[in-house]
């Protein structure tokens, strides 16, 4: 029988997940890396995609490519706004659909 997850349980799970190490992903040189640098992604998310300058900023290297694409598109079109998205909206305004795909593929461990 399924049980409801309480707010307290959700907080405990969230706290536990936030303490896990980010996945170790070898990010290759190439167009994705060049784009990541050119679009200033490293400024907030770190050169490796997993050392953000603020704890609230996500660790993005090693994420699923499709998830990254969906999140970047949602930030770009304004449907994702968690209070931390204002700076990202400005950045994403200058990132094309093809560039989103290139960034997502590279961050997920592709080329």
Q: Are 83 and 61 in contact (CB under 8 A)?
A: no
How many whole angstroms separate alpha carbon 11 and alpha carbon 62?
24
pTM across the whole model: 0.75
- Structural domains of the chain, ranges and CATH numbers in brackets: 26-107 (1.10.760.10)
53-107 tens-digit pLDDT: 998 899 999 999 999 999 999 999 988 877 777 888 989 999 999 999 999 999 9
Supply the pLDDT for residue 23.
64
Q: What six digits make up the tokens of 98? A: 């093809």
Helix, strand or coil, per DSSP, at residue 57: coil
1-20 tens-digit pLDDT: 557 888 898 888 887 877 77
Task: Identify which has the larger pLDDT, 3 or 30.
Answer: 30
How many whole angstroms separate alpha carbon 47 and alpha carbon 27?
10
Supply the pLDDT for residue 111.
60
33-64 tens-digit pLDDT: 999 999 999 999 999 999 999 988 999 999 99
Supply the pLDDT for residue 85.
77
């Amino acid at each position: 029988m399924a049980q409801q997850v309480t707010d307290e349980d959700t907080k405990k799970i969230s706290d536990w997940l936030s303490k896990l190490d980010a996945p170790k992903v070898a990010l290759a040189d190439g167009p994705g890396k060049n784009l990541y640098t050119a679009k200033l992604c490293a400024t907030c998310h770190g050169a490796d995609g997993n050392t953000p300058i603020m704890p609230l900023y996500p660790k993005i290297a090693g994420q699923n490519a499709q998830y990254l694409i969906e999140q970047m598109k949602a930030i770009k079109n304004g449907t994702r706004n968690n209070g931390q998205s204002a700076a990202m909206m400005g950045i994403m305004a200058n990132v094309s659909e093809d560039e989103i795909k290139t960034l997502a593929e590279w961050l997920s461990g592709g080329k």
